[in-house]
Structures are given as C-alpha cells and as structure tokens.
C-alpha cells in the first residue's frame, strides 16, 4: 500500500486559483481504499478561509472566462477532454482507489464519460445564441435575446462517480461562461482534484474550476453564500431537500440529481438473455451504487421461473475481488457504513418474507465487500421494494398484465428511470409514455450517452444534465426591446 499512498496523497486538500491549497485546521478526512479499508490519503475539510478563497477566486475567473470568445472557451474544454483520454489508465486507477469500483468499469465509464461531456459541451459553446423577434414588419420594433451565463455555480457530488459527476456539471456550466466551485463527496475526495489540475493545464483561467473538499457543512456554506448563482447537487433526497431549501433563501437556480427506486419491467415475450443481462447491469454494476438502477424487477408471470433461474445462474459467475485486477467484476461497497445499511435491508427483506435466492452475506477479510444479492417473491409493500438501498440488492416482483404493472411501477415517490423489455414495440412505447420517470430504456438499461438528457421527476429531482437541455440550466435569457419609432404616452 506504500506505493499507492505515495502517488495518491494529493499535495493539498483543495485546488483553488490554479494551485493546491491546504489548511490543516479543517477536520480530518481519512480517504480509505474500500477494498482493504486502509487509509490511502489524509485530507482536511475546508475551513471558512478556504471556502472564501475558493468563492472569491471563482468569481474573478468567471469575469475573465465570460469575456473570452465562445470558440476559445470551447477549445479549452475540448483540450481537457483530450487530456482525460490520454491519461485514461492513470485516471481509471485513481477512480478505482477513490471508489473501489473495478478497473474493468473505470476504464470505460469514468474519465471517458467525463471526456464525452467536455467534448460535447466544448463543441456546443460557440453555437449558443439568442433569438430575434420582429414586430410590425421590416424596420419595425424588435426584440433580441442574449443568452448569458448565470455566474458562479456550485457543484456538489455523490461518491459513486466522482469524475463523471464533476465533468457532467462543469462541462455545461463552463461552456455557458460560468465558473464552478465543486465539492466532492467526503468519501471520494481525490478524483476532482486531478480534474482541477487538468483544467489549468488545458488553459482554463486559474480559479475557473476550484475544488474544495469537505463534509456536508462545507456544502451548506457554499450553497448559502450570496455570491453563488446556482447549485447543482447529485446526492440523496434528504440532502436534496436541505440544499433546495437553502438555495431558495436567495432564490437561486438549482439542479437536483437525486435518488431512485426505478422499475425494470420484463414481459414474457422479451429475449431472456438480454433481459437477464439488463437486470445484472441495472443492479450489480458499481456494486449497485447507481442512482438510476432498476432495483424493482417486475417479471411477467410465465417468465418468472426461467428468468430467475438464469439470473441466479449467471450472477454466480460474478467475480468478486481485487478491483485493480481486470478480471474482477464486483468491487466493494464504498464504506463500511454503506455496507451495514445494505445488510440491514437484507435482514429486513428476509423478516418481511422475501425469499433470499442468492448472496446477502459478506466475504471474510478486510474491505467493505458484500455479495450480489437476489430476492424473489418480493411484493410492493415490502421495505426493500419501497426504499432506495444503493447497494447490490435486486428484487424480483411478478405481474400479470400491462395495466397492472404500469400502475405498480409508478406507485413510488421516486421517478428517476425505468426500463421495459418486450418484443412488442407498440406496447413498449405505450408503456414508456405512461411511466413516471425522467429517463426510460426500451430493451436496454442504464445507458446514458451525453447526447441524451438525464434527470428525474417527482422526488428524484429537478433539471436535466447532459444534452442541449443542460444548457437551459446553466444560462439565462435577457430580453432586449429595441424601438424604431417615437414613444407613445397617454399624456
Ligand atoms: P448524500 O446526499 O449523502 O451526499 C451528497 C453530497 O452532498 C456530498 O458531497 C455531501 O457532503 C453533501 N452534503 C451533505 N449534506 C449537505 C448539506 N446540508 N448541504 C450541502 N451539501 C451537503 O449522497 P451520497 O450518499 O453521497 O450519494 C448517494 C445518493 O446520491 C443516492 O441517493 C443516489 O441515488 C444519489 N445519486 C443520484 C444521482 C443522479 O444523477 N440522480 C447520481 C448519483 C447518486
């Protein structure tokens, strides 16, 4: 572990105004490698002085950045993307150490999806324009609009995708001419620091993308600062409620990417192997720590037995082990706390009468491991079918017809995502039209290309990330009325 520690320990806990910053007066953050529980880096939560420095420097940088030609801004973002791709291997290893996710995943899903966002929004930066509306024909009055940045944006991240979350927020924000102060989750503080270094290397003004590490109180201090124009949070619903309420105090813009309890509906005409593959991806990728996971797997009655048998058989092939081994397919949970929370749900599932078909226990030894877990015979009222577990726990629920399953799929306070597997395309489109979810997949699950909007309805959030839709959430429109004649007045 010595070598990991030497390369992982950042030069400072924060990255502000183009440099690493340390203030040891802040509360300690012990960064542990989830596979072993060993401390690989020690950081300090931001003090008020650090927060002040970050906000003041970002405010300065925003003015400089917004004054650049949009095409020059786009070029910087695309350079960041190039560097992310060039260093994908090193960044993937860092992501694996930061999160415990298998290297097999991080090589394809993290720095690379961050790069996609930077390329997409870097390419779009120069095409952001306003509109013109004419009144009374040529030579008459008209209105033109100016698409302006919001100013200073705060991004707050969850632990599961530290690089991707930072890029999904920074890329559209910066493309629109904003600056960002980003606070990673306190359990994954490393990756965003590296991203901040890369922004400066790519030519971004110092301070444009600052990273402050810290606990929830640091997030709260950022959200309530009067200089902050927008807050984008990826996190749980309870945190979302607090951040949304705090931002309301200053009537600030928000994007809320929150939790879910999404349905994956499998009709008996679906391709069995594809449906099983999707259920595996929708529950066990990143050891189940994905907001959009399809954790309520509704299977039509005639399909329940073949689906369950095949799912259990294939899940037995999961390779739990060293996340840095390319053959490993299941890593540990992020922290022991999170594992205990998941184990508690497993116990509740059994107590409430669900059938534990696979997993549910922890392999011996250090690290925060838990086996992929499958429950059969789950009913809608059970706790494991209602609450977000955020771990590798899949519930199989049976259904008889489309109307019934649509109503049951929607009977949740969440609305992040949903999936439908069927050979009948008319039924698939009819169902997704009726499903209350921000993102739906037909005969797939959990693919989130940057070109497509991503976000939730109901308690799962407000706003959209990715795609052109994200631009609406990082810019505002000024309307300018231009008169060409005299001014009429009543007296
Ligand atoms: P969390 O809500 O505990 O923490 C999220 C972030 O908010 C952390 O950085 C935390 O320090 C910060 N925070 C906590 N209290 C705060 C406060 N009062 N003010 C400001 N910031 C505060 O979430 P988590 O446990 O890190 O992540 C798991 C959750 O995130 C799950 O619910 C999951 O579904 C959700 N998530 C959603 C998406 C999405 O895109 N919709 C993606 C990933 C994760």
Residue 2, domain member (yes or no): no
What is the C-alpha separation between 455 and 417, in angstroms, rounded? Answer: 8
Q: Which atom of ligand 1 is nearest to the CA of 456?
A: 41
pLDDT in tens, 252-261: 999 999 999 9
pLDDT reading at 20 higher than 70: yes
Determine the pLDDT at residue 3.
52
Domain match, 200 and 340 both: no
Q: How many domains does the chain have?
A: 2
Residue 365, domain member (yes or no): yes
- For 369, phi then psi, to 5°, come to -85, 150
Residues annotated as catalytic are: 257
Q: In Å, what is the CA distance from 376 to each residue of 126, 246, 355, 392? A: 52, 41, 5, 14
**CA triple 349-353-359, angle to 5 deg:** 45
pLDDT in tens, 367-422: 999 999 999 999 999 999 999 999 999 999 999 999 999 999 999 999 999 999 99
Q: Is 291 in the pocket of ligand 1 (CB under 6 A)?
A: yes
Determine the pLDDT at residue 2.
46
Q: Is 239 in the pocket of ligand 1 (CB under 6 A)?
A: yes
pLDDT in tens, 49-101: 999 999 999 999 999 999 999 999 999 999 999 999 999 999 999 999 999 99
pLDDT reading at 232 higher than 70: yes
Distance 211 CA to ligand 1 centre (A): 16
Determine the pLDDT at residue 399.
98
pLDDT average, residue stretch 214-222: 98
Domain match, 378 and 436 both: yes
Parallel/antiparallel/unpaired status of strands 132-134 and 142-149: antiparallel
Mean pLDDT of the chain: 97
Domain match, 123 and 71 both: yes
Q: Is 257 in the pocket of ligand 1 (CB under 6 A)?
A: yes
Give me the domain span that covers residue 410. 263-442
Q: Is 243 in the pocket of ligand 1 (CB under 6 A)?
A: yes
pLDDT in tens, 22-52: 999 999 999 999 999 999 999 999 999 999 9
Q: Is 229 in the pocket of ligand 1 (CB under 6 A)?
A: no
| 184 in Cβ contact with 211 (< 8 Å) | yes
Residue 465, domain member (yes or no): yes
| 59 in Cβ contact with 149 (< 8 Å) | no
Q: Which atom of ligand 1 is nearest to the CA of 237?
A: 32
pLDDT average, residue stretch 341-354: 98
Per cent of the chain over pLDDT 70 is: 99
pLDDT in tens, 112-164: 999 999 999 999 999 999 999 999 877 899 999 999 999 999 999 999 999 99
Domain match, 176 and 318 both: no
Domain match, 96 and 139 both: yes
Closest CA relative to residue 334, chosen from 91, 98, 30: 98
Question: Which CATH number does the domain housing residue 166 bear?
Answer: 3.40.605.10
pLDDT reading at 1 higher than 60: no
In this prediction the pTM is 0.97
What is the C-alpha separation between 102 and 287, in angstroms, rounded? Answer: 9
Residue 315, domain member (yes or no): yes
Distance 429 CA to ligand 1 centre (A): 32
pLDDT in tens, 431-480: 999 999 999 999 999 999 999 999 999 999 999 999 999 999 999 999 99
Answer positive or negative: Cα dihedral of 322, 326, 327, 332: positive
pLDDT average, residue stretch 200-216: 98
Question: Which CATH number does the domain housing residue 424 bear?
Answer: 3.40.309.10
């Amino acid at each position: 572990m010595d070598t990991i520690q030497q390369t992982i320990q950042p030069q400072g806990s924060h990255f502000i105004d183009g440099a690493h910053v340390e203030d040891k007066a802040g509360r300690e953050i012990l960064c542990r490698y989830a596979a072993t529980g060993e401390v690989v880096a020690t950081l300090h939560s931001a003090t008020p002085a650090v927060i002040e420095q970050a906000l003041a420097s970002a405010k300065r940088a925003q003015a400089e950045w917004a004054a650049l030609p949009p095409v020059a801004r786009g070029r910087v973002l695309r350079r960041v993307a190039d560097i992310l791709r060039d260093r994908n291997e090193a960044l993937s290893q860092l992501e694996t150490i930061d999160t415990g996710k298998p290297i097999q995943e991080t090589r394809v899903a993290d720095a690379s999806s961050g790069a996609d966002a930077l390329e997409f929004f870097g390419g779009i930066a120069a095409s952001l324009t306003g509109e013109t509306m004419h009144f009374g024909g040529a030579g008459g009055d008209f209105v033109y609009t100016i698409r302006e940045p919001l100013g200073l944006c705060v991004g707050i991240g969850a632990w599961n995708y530290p690089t991707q979350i930072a890029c999904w927020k920074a890329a559209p924000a910066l493309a629109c001419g904003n600056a960002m102060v980003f606070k990673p989750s306190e359990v994954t503080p490393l990756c965003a620091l590296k991203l901040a270094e890369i922004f400066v290397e790519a030519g971004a003004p110092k301070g444009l993308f600052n990273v402050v590490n810290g606990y929830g109180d640091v997030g709260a201090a950022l959200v309530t600062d009067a200089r902050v124009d927008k807050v984008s949070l990826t996190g749980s619903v309870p945190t979302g409620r607090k951040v949304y309420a705090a931002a309301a105090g200053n009537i600030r813009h928000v994007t809320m990417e929150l939790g879910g309890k999404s349905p994956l509906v499998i009709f008996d005409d679906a391709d069995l192997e594809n449906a099983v593959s999707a259920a595996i991806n929708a529950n066990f990728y990143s050891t189940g720590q994905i907001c959009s996971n399809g954790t309520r797997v509704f299977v039509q009655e005639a399909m329940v037995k073949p689906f369950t048998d095949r799912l259990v058989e294939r899940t037995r092939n999961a390779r739990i082990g060293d996340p840095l081994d390319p053959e490993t397919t299941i890593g540990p949970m992020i922290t022991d706390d999170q594992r205990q929370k998941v184990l508690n749900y497993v116990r509740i599932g059994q107590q409430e009468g669900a059938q534990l078909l696979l997993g549910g226990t922890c392999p011996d030894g250090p690290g925060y491991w838990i086996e992929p877990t499958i429950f059969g015979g789950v009913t809608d009222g059970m706790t494991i079918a209602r609450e977000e577990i955020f771990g590798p726990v899949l519930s199989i629920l049976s259904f008889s017809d489309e109307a019934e399953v649509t109503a049951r799929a929607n009977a949740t306070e969440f609305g992040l995502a949903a999936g439908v597997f069927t050979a009948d395309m008319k039924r698939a489109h009819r169902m997704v039209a009726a499903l209350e979810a921000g993102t739906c997949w037909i005969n797939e699950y959990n693919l989130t290309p940057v070109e497509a909007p991503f976000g939730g309805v109901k308690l799962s959030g407000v706003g959209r990330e990715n795609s052109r839709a994200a631009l609406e959430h990082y810019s505002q429109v000024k309307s300018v009325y231009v008169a060409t004649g005299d001014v009429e007045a009543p007296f």
